[in-house]
A = this chain, B = another copy of it.
Amino acid sequence: MHFRIAIDMDEVLADTIAQALSLYNRQFGANLSRADLQGKSLWDVVPREHLEQVQTHPRSPGFFRDIPVMPGSLEVLPELCRRHEVFIATAAMLYPNCFTEKYDWLKEHFPCIADSRIVFCGDKHIIAADYLIDDHSQNFRGFSGKGLLYDAPHNHFEQGYERLENWEAIRRRFLA
């Protein structure tokens, strides 16, 4: 079967939490890890007096440009593009400074994604696709296809969605 699959960027293709943790730990001499975030976002666990500064991190120039690539995605995504119609659908309006950084990041790491297949949007229910792979289940509201929840610390305890643990699970789901 050939599907149209929309794939979220932050926390699915880009390891945004790794970037956020690394910035936080560096700035505050802390040692927070992914394991400290089960069921929570970074903003939920930092001390209240750090919150304001932490919230400015995604606004700092370069934040979205040098995020590490999610393990496994470099191998699986190009294969997915050959077999299916793949779009990258990413919320970019929260931090409008990130358009160019996100675009350049995609061009560097995933040249298999044509310009015409990149969508910067706010509400994701505007996307017409068979599947949306996303770490935020609220993006499935009103989406006409099937939402697949990509595993992330903050959604650890969420139920009621088909969950994809990692890119190997995406490979099994769509390329087996």
Interface check A46, CB cutoff 8 A: no
Q: Which residues of B contact A100 (CB under 8 A)?
A: 96-97, 99-100
A contacts, CB < 8 Å to B: 4, 6, 87, 89, 92-94, 96-97, 99-100, 103, 114-123, 125-129, 144
Most buried by B among A87, A103, A128, A129: A128
Compute how far the CA of A126 lies from the CA of B89 in the bound complex, rounded to whole angstroms.
Answer: 10
What is the total number of copies of this protein in its complex? 2
Residues from chain B with a CB closer than 8 A to the CB of A97 are 100
Complex CA distance for A92 and B103, rounded to whole angstroms: 11
Q: Which of B96, B103, B116, B125 sits near A128, CB closer than 8 Å?
A: B125
User: Beyond A99-B99, A128-B144: 7 further Cβ-contacts under 8 Å?
Assistant: A89-B126, A92-B99, A93-B115, A93-B118, A96-B103, A99-B103, A126-B129
Judged by DSSP, the binding face of A is: mixed
Note all chain B residues with C-beta closer than 8 A to A117: 122-123
Which residues of B have CB within 8 Å of A122? 114-119
Bound together, the chains give a CA A87 to CA B93 distance in angstroms of 13
The minimal Cβ–Cβ distance linking A102 to chain B, given in whole angstroms, is 9
Question: What residue of chain B has the Cβ atom nearest to residue A120's Cβ?
Answer: B120
A99 contacts B128, C-beta separation under 8 Å = no
